[in-house]
Structure 1
Amino acid sequence: MPSFGRTLERLPLLVDQRRLAYGITIALCAAAWWLRLILDPLFPPGFPYLTFFPAVILSSFLFGRGPGIVAAVLCGLLAWYFFIPPLQSFGLQRGTPLALLFYVGVVTVDILLVHWMQVANRHLSRERERTAQLAARTEILFEELQHRVSNNLQMVGAMLSLQQRSTQDEEARRAIGDAASKLQLIGRIQRGLYGSRGEPLAIGTFITRLVEDLAESSGKPGVRHIMDSSTPLMLAPERAIPIALIVAEAVANAIEHGFADRDRGTIKISIASDGAMLSLTVADDGRGVPDDFDIARQDSLGLRIARSLAQGIGATLSIRPARPGTILRLEHIPTGSDS
């Protein structure tokens, strides 16, 4: 159906070759006349225009209003001369004017309807082109906005990193460094929230891109990252960004602490959906956390931020030993699909 619609939008044909269009129109009229002659013995009296109507409609449909009018006049004259008594003359009998008036009315309506349809199709084609141009411009502006927001966040992070170098207090340096890295991370997340056309990405695709980005900047190419996600769900930014920050914190902790004494290992991220709820798991085979590890008692800035983000989206966050390694679970994440 879409290809048929595009074909209709290209009508009328031969706009730049009108002589050919009129020539084909005359040929269609001649074919209609010949067919009417052949079928005349089979038709009862009173059907002089039967094969001529299709010629008029087809000429109008294919070549436009002008050839349609020529076809209407030529077919009308042929039908009048050969098939309306008195035959082979343009004489008028009692019912001839009524028959001619009927023919003129029908072909006029046919030509006008075809013409209006083609005008509407041309308007539709122009509107589609304008819409496509507007969509392309919107896409460019959206990408530019995304890049500007991301770049501004990363620039602020870079400025904080510069400030960190001139700060003497060790605790302040660490806090500024954490804030700088978080801002730069948010900038990368913001850049990856949407596809190349501005469409929101499925959470699995979004997290996959984020993890690949983190892997490239980790400095440990021997650490493998495995992504396991079959959900096509797309989350709003207010849910996707906190999830991405928690995943980034889990990956960073695995690389920094779990694989602190080795250059190889595996980090697996799994995402699953169950109705209106989403669950996410980050597991590594590194050194692992102690058996008595309690996330509620941890004072590191990253874990405190992760707890706060999980509470903000109504999810449950837990970290426990996996033997080997560590497993982080983010469960009962509302997807918003039921609203």
Structure 2
Amino acid sequence: MFKNSFSVLLIEDSNADFRLIQEFLGESESPAFNLTRSDNFSSGLNSISEKRPDVVLLDLSLPDCNGLEALTAIKSRFPQIPVIICSGAEDKEITVNALQIGAQDYVYKGKFDSYSLSRSLIFAYERNRLAIELEKKNIFEQENEERYRLFFQYNPHPAFLFEHDTLEIIEVNQAVIEKYGYQERDLIGKKILEIFHKQDFEKVTTEIDSYHFGVNRVRRIIHKKKNGSELIADSTIYKFRFRNQILDLAVITDVTEMVRNRESILASLAEKDTLIQEIHHRVKNNMQIMVSLLNLQADNAMTRELTSKELYGLLKDTESRVFSMSLVHNELYKSRDLSHVDFSSYLNMLLQNLWNLYGVGRNITQTISAQGLILNMDTAIPLGLIACELVTNALKHAFAEKSKGKIRIDVAQESSRITVTIEDDGKGLPAGYLGKNHDTLGLQLVQILTKQIEGELKIEILNPGTKFQIQFPERE
């Protein structure tokens, strides 16, 4: 009868490996695994004697005993308790020696998951249990065949048994049915070539002809499931004689997810590298824009004599412009794709900084309606500078003689065009302002930046206040 729970003793000195195995076994709901641990061989022997676990998981690198010596001692004192070797070293000789001494299985750290580890434990227990029953009956041939069947059927990896000469499949285990989607009757009597693509038949046949007796490592190749999907597999082939036949046992390791994850990671790294290079070039360009702004400010200052207060004001204006550009990069680095900016978040941060920079009180309120507006960097930087200039101008001039007021920024998207409206309810522009040419640095900068994003600038005098509207095409 199938057990609902298993007691497992892990003899392992590594805390990290213990936690990993504990996590894997904790994921199994049926059967449940009750895991205990000893961190050295001596305490492990005592635990086996006291608790009589169903299965022992034994690390080969223990501080107080060599792994194979530990295995020998356990099998000598407790021959009826199954032992699975759990090691980080892939050593064929040690593996063979461990199995000859009496280990039920040999699993490699880092190469198993929750499913394969639990199946290995079940297999070890069931194989050992049936072996004891068969031993009691003293039926040598039946015992050997049953051992093989348990090894074959309970193997967590897909396994195919086929004739070496005809390539006809004799038997498949349950893992094949689960992994490939076939029924047993679909494969028995068919050639092993059924699980490969036709263009690979000749290559596979040639490879099978080259097998030697014993263990053969086969290179990675793509298998075909019943539904046509692909499975990337590593195979281990055992060629042997049985009842005057030459048979091949193919044990399959599915590495599809591992390979595709690796490809995905490499592709992602390549994309990130390209984006970072692009950002590097844009940062250089933005630094040049900053230099140009400082030159414009310097030229503007040279045309007239400035008081200390006026000079301080110019420096604060320059500070706000530099901050508006650096804020774009701050939002960019928070973005997942490193190429687009959440402009609503950007505007909130920008206005918060301008309120602090110019010492604006709570009497001047702000309203931003730009949810969902995602802009690429080439658009976000000039549009951010435009917003900075217009809001700064309103804070400095529109509310100079007014105790209360508000600034509103609205964004609308329609027919592949974006409209950004920035308006205030301040004292408004002087009469006749719209009919004149203006050479102020702020307005020049707004006009230049509007052209840079292929937009149109409209200015409307309200009663009270002023409205600036920038309309430009949406770009990827």
TM-score, structure 2 as length reference: 0.43
**Residue 457 of structure 2: aligned partner:** 317
Instruction: Say whether residues 1:187 and 2:280 are aligned partners.
Output: no
Q: CA contact under 8 A between 2:408 and 2:423: conserved in structure 1?
A: yes
User: Any residues of structure 2 matched to 1:10-21 within 5 Å, and which?
Assistant: 14-16=115-117, 19-20=120-121
**Residue 229 of structure 1: aligned partner:** 370
Q: CA contact under 8 A between 2:412 and 2:419: conserved in structure 1?
A: yes
**Residue 123 of structure 2: aligned partner:** 22
Match of 2:305 among 170, 183, 207: 170
**Residue 430 of structure 2: aligned partner:** 290
Change (3 A) 1:238 1:135: closer
**Residue 157 of structure 2: aligned partner:** 64
Match of 2:188 among 103, 124, 138: 103
**Could you tell me how far apart the structure 2 residues matched to 1:298 and 1:158 are?**
18
User: Any residues of structure 2 matched to 1:39-188 within 5 Å, and which?
Assistant: 63-65=156-158, 103=188, 105=190, 116=232, 118-129=254-265, 170=305, 177=315, 180-181=318-319, 184-185=322-323, 187-188=325-326
**Residue 4 of structure 2: aligned partner:** none
Change (3 A) 1:24 1:145: farther
Q: CA contact under 8 A between 1:150 and 1:191: conserved in structure 2?
A: no
Change (3 A) 1:146 1:17: farther
Deviation for aligned residue 1:335: 1.6
Q: CA contact under 8 A between 1:290 and 1:321: conserved in structure 2?
A: no
Deviation for aligned residue 1:12: 6.6
Change (3 A) 1:184 1:208: same
Change (3 A) 1:15 1:181: same
Q: What does the per-residue CA deviation read over 1:286-314, in whole Å, with 9 as the maximum and x for residues that have no partner?
A: 22212422175222111122122223333
**Could you tell me how far apart the structure 2 residues matched to 1:293 and 1:170 are?**
25
**Residue 281 of structure 1: aligned partner:** 421
**Residue 31 of structure 1: aligned partner:** none
Matched position secondary structure for 2:463: coil
Deviation for aligned residue 1:110: 6.3
**Could you tell me how far apart the structure 2 residues matched to 1:176 and 1:157 are?**
15
Deviation for aligned residue 1:324: 1.9
Change (3 A) 1:322 1:229: same
Deviation for aligned residue 1:135: 7.2
Change (3 A) 1:149 1:209: farther
The range that moved more, 252-261 or 115-124, is: 115-124
Q: What does the per-residue CA deviation read over 1:119-143, in whole Å, with 9 as the maximum and x for residues that have no partner?
A: 223312333455567778888x689
**Could you tell me how far apart the structure 2 residues matched to 1:208 and 1:317 are?**
22
Structure 2 letter corresponding to 1:272? A
Matched position secondary structure for 1:281: strand
**Residue 51 of structure 1: aligned partner:** none
Q: CA contact under 8 A between 2:428 and 2:462: conserved in structure 1?
A: yes
Instruction: Say whether residues 1:267 and 2:407 are aligned partners.
Output: yes
Hey, which of these two has a bigger chunk of strand by percent?
Answer: 2
% identical aligned pairs: 19
**Could you tell me how far apart the structure 2 residues matched to 1:243 and 1:313 are?**
8
The range that moved more, 292-301 or 203-212, is: 203-212
**Residue 301 of structure 1: aligned partner:** 441
Structure 1 letter corresponding to 2:391? V
Change (3 A) 1:247 1:144: closer
How much is the aligned-residue C-alpha RMSD, in angstroms? 5.1
**Could you tell me how far apart the structure 1 residues matched to 2:272 and 2:456 are?**
41
Show structure 2 runs of 5+ residues with no match: 1-110, 129-148, 163-168, 174-184, 197-222, 226-230, 234-253
**Could you tell me how far apart the structure 1 residues matched to 2:317 and 2:360 are?**
23
Q: CA contact under 8 A between 1:320 and 1:326: conserved in structure 2?
A: yes
The range that moved more, 304-313 or 265-274, is: 304-313
**Residue 56 of structure 2: aligned partner:** none
Matched position secondary structure for 1:336: coil
**Could you tell me how far apart the structure 2 residues matched to 1:153 and 1:178 are?**
19
Structure 2 letter corresponding to 1:121? E
The range that moved more, 211-220 or 173-182, is: 173-182
Q: CA contact under 8 A between 2:427 and 2:464: conserved in structure 1?
A: yes
Change (3 A) 1:321 1:276: same
**Could you tell me how far apart the structure 2 residues matched to 1:319 and 1:110 are?**
71
Matched position secondary structure for 1:235: strand
Deviation for aligned residue 1:248: 1.1
Compare relative contact order (CA 8 Å, sep 6+) and give the higher one, 1 or 2. Answer: 1
Structure 1 letter corresponding to 2:350? L
Q: CA contact under 8 A between 2:320 and 2:388: conserved in structure 1?
A: no
Deviation for aligned residue 1:187: 3.2
Change (3 A) 1:219 1:104: same
User: How many residue pairs are counted as aligned between the two chains?
Assistant: 269
Structure 2 letter corresponding to 1:63? P
Show structure 1 runs of 5+ residues with no match: 1-9, 28-54, 77-99
